Amino acid sequence: MNQEEKISSYQLLLLATFFTVGSSILELPSTLVTIAEQDAWIAMLLGIAISAIMVGLYLLLIRQYPGKNLHQINEAVFGRKIGGIVSFYLTAMTFFLGPPTVIYYLGRFLSIQIMVETPASSTHLLYGLLAIFAVALGIEVIARVAEILFPIFFILYLGLMLLLIPLVEFERLQPVFEHDFKTLLWASIFYVQFSCFPIIIMLTSFQGKVTQQKKAPKAFFLGNFFGGSILFITTLISVLVLGKLTALFNFPSYVLAQKINVGDFIQRIEMVITVMWFITLFFKLVLYFDSAVVGFAEILKIKNHRFLVVPLGILIIYFSLTNFPNDVYQLNQDKTTWIPHSFFLGVLYPIVVLIIGFVQGKLKEKRKGIHRPSESKGG
Amino acid sequence: MKMKRVLFILILTVFCLTASSCWSRRELNELAIVVGFGIDKVGDQYQVSLQMVNPSEVVTQGEGTGRTPVIVYKEKGKTVFEIIRRLTTLTPRKAFFSHMQIMVISEEVAREGIKKALDFFWRDHEIRFDFFIVVSRKSKAEDVLNVLTKLERIPSRKLFTSLETAERYWAPVNAATLDKFVRTLLAEGIAPTLTGISIEGDVKEGGERENTEDVSREVSLKYKGIAVFKEDRLVGWLNEMESKGKNYILDNVNSTVGSVRCPHEEKHFTIEVIRAKAKVIGKVENGKPAIYIDQVSEANLSEIQCSKLDLSQPRTIKMIESATEQRVKNILQSTIYAAQKKYKTDFLGFGEAIRQADPEYWSKNKQNWQQEFVKLPVHINVDVNVKHTGKVSNSFIKEMEDSKSEKE
């Protein structure tokens, strides 16, 4: 099954971009400004720098284990049993914390801003079904959808940012560097924890499926960087236009779009941001979900992972409705549960894998050096 | 394969049924479009007045039904949203707020503090931030909304456009939207201001339809003065001159007009400012804060009554410039006096300027900024450049006077 699916490195770049932008485009400026106030954009730059380092680390994983997905790497590094446990933990946490939260984000946004009287369950169901449909069709189709939707997303985004330029006031940035490095670092965590650490789970989806395997690491890295730049510009514009008020809104980008008024003619176009958010959230949801499905299939040794899509999909819709009693609980989860989880997923885990893998490689080399000196190690 | 097709059709059906988004639909004929919102205090309760559009009266070309273009509903209660929902017992339709143009706060509510009344507007999803907030001066907000106007059929629309125009061409008003107001409420070292509105004429007659049919007997709404706040409480009003100075200092002036006394004569000339730029710079030297205001404007001479000024001479222009500079300086000083001595509230943003200049000093002294602010030294530097003198150079008035003196 896996051998049939192929995506190009350009498609991988777009998927990584969408994953990075994800839910953050609507919510991130608010969190950053709450912590770092007018220095939020510096925190964002710091976040991009951190994520460049971390994604660099994941690239080492790709280089060391070419074509192997996350769970195959686990098996190679930790052996079948412990590797299975690690895989199960990663998959279960991704499955439980990832897709339901993404669906909840969408439902929350719709029931706060747009369709107040529509029950959340109907929007959750619709979006969940869409995700089931997409994952059932496989990563190849998802990648093609990304290729189709990206121009739409990017043109809308660019248009929105350009139309906001007349509202920019540079005094809002002053005083620059009012906050110390520690505060900025703490703020940047909120970018990194959603957009950089979890991106490692994409390794389950695309590893071994990219047509030009050599270009894959570069595309992956650039996608993350590009997504980070989009978020950086959004944050900067938020600070320049809304200033500290950004912190007060749940969805500052939506408020930004509301403020656009060019000659009483181009105005009331906030639905544009809703369309963008539908697109980016869709990919975040689908990539989480696909990774979880592939993970479970790998653990249970099921050859055709599509068999799992519908039951797991129904579960994520269910979890999206029951995980969170209210908005405050969910926001609190982002600040408490998600940080240690993403830290484990994105920092601790790859470092441990790399170290063990490195030691194993050295040991093998030594042994091989004694018996068969001609064979070289892969990679 | 058959199973798959059935599933596919099932999913498509679900999409069709749910994606048409008929669930939260609200048709145009079910909405009561709110254009004006007024808030008063009655006893210890709020009274909310909503000015709603009467669509058949506004839309119809030619003959209307003879009813008023807007209807005002009012209701009392403890919180704003409660009152708005209670209003459904009065109105035939549910209020729709996305097209709100103006929010009138009565002076009484403003003096008590308005933050309590504003949270709803900040939170509700229907409310946009593009309406203006004004304070009704010496009258109830309800009465302001009751006045019918002539040029614009919807009074709230009149209030909105006239404030927008006045801000562009006449300095002493202050068009504040909700987000702008809250931003200044939250910002350190600057206090908010709002424009005042007053009713000219008999309050009762303003609500009658005849008010729009009679040329001379107009009860009208007029923007008058700027309300100065300390935190969210109104503490006083700026007169026209002080209001003008406030907008000069905060760099809100796009274009305005001012008359200046001619040198050596009891007559006046008018200067039209076409571009104005002001900078408030804070400096902390040896632990002492000071404010430097740099005001540069480009102006045209647009009217002249004086007969002794010879406009063909370059030094006359210099004279006019320095007379104007002195005048602008006086305006700015009157405003600064109002801020520091009369009302003791920092609506000019001096604290913010100091904070931007020296964040460390600010974080140490922001607790006792009130005392510091009152005795803050302010240095003003005004520069006026007169560019053009209109279609003519010397006025015909001067020609008349000159020929008269020749005859003598």
Chain B closest-CA separation from residue A185 CA (Å): 20
Residue B339 DSSP one-character state: I
Does residue A1 belong to any structural domain of this protein?
A: no
Report the Cα B127 to chain-centroid distance in Å: 19
Across B58-190, where does the E strand assignment appear? 70-77, 94-96, 102-106, 132-136, 176-177
Residue length, chain A? 379
Instruction: Report which of B124, B239, B110 is spatially closest to residue B181, judged by C-alpha positions.
Output: B110
Q: Are B50 and B97 a contacting pair, CB within 8 Å?
A: no
d(CA B112, CA B119): 16
Q: Percent of chain B, pLDDT > 70?
A: 93
CB contact under 8 A, B18 and A122: yes
Looking at beta carbons, which residues of chain A come within 8 Å of B11? 129, 133
Cβ contacts from A onto B, under 8 A: 54
Mean pLDDT of chain A: 88
Say what the pTM is. Answer: 0.86
pLDDT in tens, B246-255: 988 988 887 8
> Which residue range is the domain that position A296 belongs to?
9-378
Report the DSSP beta bridge partners of residue B105.
Answer: B39, B135
Residue with tokens 């309050």: B203
Show the tokens assigned to B332.
Answer: 């700015």
Does residue A233 belong to any structural domain of this protein?
A: yes
Residue with tokens 């009369």: B342
Q: Which helix (H) or strand (E) holds A100?
A: helix A70-109
| Collapsed DSSP state (helix, strand, coil) of residue A181 | helix
Does residue A207 belong to any structural domain of this protein?
A: yes
Q: Are A30 and A191 a contacting pair, CB within 8 Å?
A: no
Residue B53: which residues within 8 A CB-CB, separation 6 or more? B32, B33, B35, B69, B70, B154
Which residue pairs, CB below 8 angstroms and at least 24 apart, start in B69-74? Answer: B69/B148, B69/B153, B69/B154, B70/B35, B70/B36, B70/B148, B70/B154, B70/B155, B70/B156, B72/B36, B72/B142, B72/B145, B72/B146, B73/B49, B74/B38, B74/B47, B74/B48, B74/B49, B74/B50, B74/B142
| φ and ψ of B184, to 5 deg | -70, -30
Give the count of domains, chain A: 1
pLDDT in tens, B341-392: 899 998 888 988 888 888 888 888 888 888 888 888 999 999 999 888 888 7
- Closest residue, chain A, to B128 (C-alpha): A258
CA distance to A128, A149, B142, per residue, from B15 (Å): 11, 20, 48
Q: Are A312 and A135 a contacting pair, CB within 8 Å?
A: no
CB contact under 8 A, B183 and A243: yes
* Per-residue H/E/C for A270-315: CHHHHHHHHHHHHHHHHHHHHHHHHHHHHHCCCCCHHHHHHHHHHH
Q: Which of the four pLDDT bands, split at 50, 70 and 90, describes residue B216?
A: low
CB contact under 8 A, B14 and A129: yes
CB contact under 8 A, B179 and A242: yes
CB contact under 8 A, A244 and B15: no
Q: What is the mean pLDDT of residues B210-228?
A: 77
Other beta carbons less than 10 A from residue A318's beta carbon: 13
Does residue A106 belong to any structural domain of this protein?
A: yes
Pick the CATH number of B241-408 from 3.30.300.210, 3.30.70.100, 3.90.1300.10, 1.10.1200.10: 3.30.300.210
pLDDT in tens, B299-335: 998 888 887 788 888 888 888 899 999 999 999 999 9
Looking at beta carbons, which residues of chain B come within 8 Å of A171? 356
Residue with tokens 């006893």: B43
pLDDT in tens, B232-280: 899 999 988 898 899 889 888 878 888 888 877 888 889 898 888 999 9
- Closest residue, chain A, to B360 (C-alpha): A178
Q: Is the ipTM of this complex over 0.90?
A: no
**Using N-to-C axis directions, what is the helix angle for A216-242 and A40-64, rounded to 10°?**
170
CB contact under 8 A, B356 and A255: no
Number of H helices, E strands in chain A: 15, 2
Instruction: Report which of A175, A202, A142 is spatially closest to residue A20, judged by C-alpha positions.
Output: A202
CB contact under 8 A, B19 and A126: yes
Listed by start position, the domains of chain B span 29-238, 241-408
CB contact under 8 A, A115 and B21: yes
Chain A closest-CA separation from residue B213 CA (Å): 30
Does residue A4 belong to any structural domain of this protein?
A: no
379 residues of chain A, pLDDT tens digit each: 445 788 999 999 999 999 999 989 988 999 999 999 889 999 999 999 999 999 999 988 888 888 888 888 888 888 888 988 999 999 998 899 889 999 999 999 988 888 888 888 888 988 998 999 999 998 999 999 999 999 999 999 999 999 999 889 888 887 888 888 999 999 999 999 988 888 988 888 888 888 888 888 899 999 999 999 999 999 999 999 998 889 888 899 999 998 888 877 888 888 889 999 999 999 999 999 999 998 999 888 888 888 899 999 999 999 999 989 888 998 888 888 889 988 998 899 999 999 988 888 888 888 876 655 444 444 3
Q: Residue A47's domain is classified under what CATH number?
A: 1.20.1740.10
Chain B closest-CA separation from residue A2 CA (Å): 21
d(CA B291, CA A159): 40
CB contact under 8 A, B122 and A114: no
Nearest-CB residue to A175 (from B23, B128, B359): B359
B→A interface, C-beta within 8 Å: 11, 14-15, 18-19, 21, 23-24, 122, 125, 128-130, 179, 182-183, 186-187, 355-356, 359
